[in-house]
Structure formats: C-alpha cells, structure tokens
C-alpha cells in the first residue's frame, strides 16, 4: 500500500512522456499551468502523427503560441487580428482536406455583454460578438456542428482536435457547452479521448454583478478528440 502510494507520488512529479511507450506517466487531468504549456503537453501525450502543421481556427491574438516554435496556421473570421486565413471556421472556404495534424478551437464562450453589443472591450477581445439570445436557446453550442464537420475534413486521419470550452450562465440558467461539444464531436465522427480541467487563480469578476447565484467558475475544459475510431495508441504503434 505504502509502496503504491510512493509510486503514485513519484510518477506524478516525473516529466510527462509520450503515451504508449510502456511507461506509466500520465498527463494530469487537472492543469494549473498556461494554455500554451498544456497544448505542448497534449501534443506529446496524445499525438500519434506529427502535430504540425497546426490549424488554430480561432486565432484572435494568438496567445497560445506566444512562446511556441510550432508551425501554426492562423484562422479567424475577423481580419483585424491579421490571421493567415480570414475565414469562418464553420465553412473553412479554400482550405484543403486532410492537411493538419492538429486543429485548435477556442470559440467565444459568452455572447455579447450588456446593451452595446459590439464595442465593449471585453466582448471584442474575447470574440463575444456572436448571437446568443432566445433564438439560440441562450447558448453558443449551435456553433459547434458546422465547425466539427470542417475540423474533421481538414484533419489528417488520426489527427487531434483540441478544444477549449468554458461553461457559462446565461439568462439566469447554467449552460453546459462542454457536454454539448463532447456529444456533438462524437456525432461528427470523432472519438472523444479525454477531458482536462484547466484552472486559473481567480474567477472572472465584474463590478456590475451584485448577487451571486452560481459558483464563480475558475476553470475551463480542454477536450481531446481524435479523428479515429481509437482513443489509445497500441504499444506505441498504430
């Protein structure tokens, strides 16, 4: 028992290695570092084909790649971020089939805040400028199916889709887009391999909020999907 405990403590602090190479060094299901560090860890742990080229399909300011040397193709529907490809990721017009080892997706997780639906800095910085009202059932999950179809099309076989999804409260109800995303990814033909909880130090706060009815979220999810029928490598080989 003590030996088992010692082994668990030991493996927890080992540098994480590639999956399926015969050693037991799993990636942690809770991540306290940066998104960029987690992406790198996920490439090492889950990829069975070379991750590059990587398509970041919601590039914005490219915060994930600030210290990365990876070959990243940037896509955003908003030209002001100067992505390599200005496109709606639900259409990916002009992008050829089966060319990326990884697609990264970090969609808006809230709709427009307040009355001014386009000019608030928070909204624009975080891409919260898409419809999220009654017609959309007060959530943004309707964005996922057309995106998932395109992600599957442009990924190579065995490629990874890594999606950062944050749950939200809208119109006084909790919404669970991470559940929607996992279900919709399976429906689109992906295998959902893992769910990693990424935590940050402090929750988002606003001085306009007067009462709390829900736990203040200080986590989001990274969902790991593979364009394959398999979740796992087999003895390091496919």
**Residues within the interface to ligand SAM (CB under 6 A):** 58, 60-64, 76-78, 81, 88-90, 106-108, 126-127, 130
**Residue 19 vs 127, nearer CB to ligand SAM:** 127
Residue 42 Cβ vs ligand SAM, minimum distance, rounded to whole Å: 15
Give the nearer residue to ligand SAM in terms of CB position, either 130 or 195. 130
Rounded least distance, CB 131 to ligand SAM, Å: 11
CB of 160 to ligand SAM, least distance (A): 16
CB atoms near residue 92 (< 10 Å)? 22
Three-state DSSP state, 185:
helix
Q: What are phi and psi of 169, to 5 degrees?
A: -110, 130
Give every CB contact of residue 100 below 8 A, 6+ residues apart in sequence: 53, 54, 55, 73, 154, 155, 156, 159
Strand, coil or helix: 80: helix
Q: Which helix (H) or strand (E) holds 168?
A: strand 168-170
Which of 64, 102, 52, 58 is closest to 83 using CA atoms?
58
Closest residue to ligand SAM, Cβ-based?
Answer: 127
Cβ pair 111, 171 in contact under 8 A: no
The CB-of-77 to ligand SAM minimum distance in angstroms stands at 4
| Closest approach of ligand SAM to the CB of residue 127, in Å | 3
């Amino acid at each position: 028992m003590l030996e088992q405990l010692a082994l668990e403590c030991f493996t927890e602090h080992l540098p994480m290695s590639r999956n399926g190479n015969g050693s037991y060094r799993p990636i942690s299901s809770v991540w306290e570092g940066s998104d960029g560090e987690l992406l790198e860890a996920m490439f090492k742990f889950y990829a069975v084909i070379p991750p590059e080229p990587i398509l970041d399909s919601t590039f914005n300011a490219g915060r994930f790649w600030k210290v990365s040397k990876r070959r990243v193709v940037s896509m955003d529907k908003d030209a002001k971020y100067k992505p390599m490809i200005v496109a709606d990721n639900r259409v990916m017009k002009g992008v050829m089939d089966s060319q990326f080892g990884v697609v990264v997706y970090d969609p808006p997780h809230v709709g427009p805040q307040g009355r001014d639906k386009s000019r608030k800095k928070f909204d624009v910085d975080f891409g919260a400028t898409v419809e999220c009202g009654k017609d959309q059932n007060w959530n943004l999950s309707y964005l996922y199916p057309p995106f998932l179809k395109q992600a599957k099309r442009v990924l190579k076989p065995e490629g990874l889709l890594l999606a950062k999804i944050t749950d939200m409260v809208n119109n006084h109800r909790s919404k669970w887009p991470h559940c929607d995303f996992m279900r919709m990814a399976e429906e689109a033909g992906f295998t959902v391999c893992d769910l990693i909880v990424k935590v940050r130090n402090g929750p988002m706060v606003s001085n306009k909020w007067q009462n709390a009815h829900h736990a203040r979220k200080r986590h989001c999810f990274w969902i790991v999907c593979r364009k394959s029928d398999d979740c796992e490598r087999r003895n390091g080989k496919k």
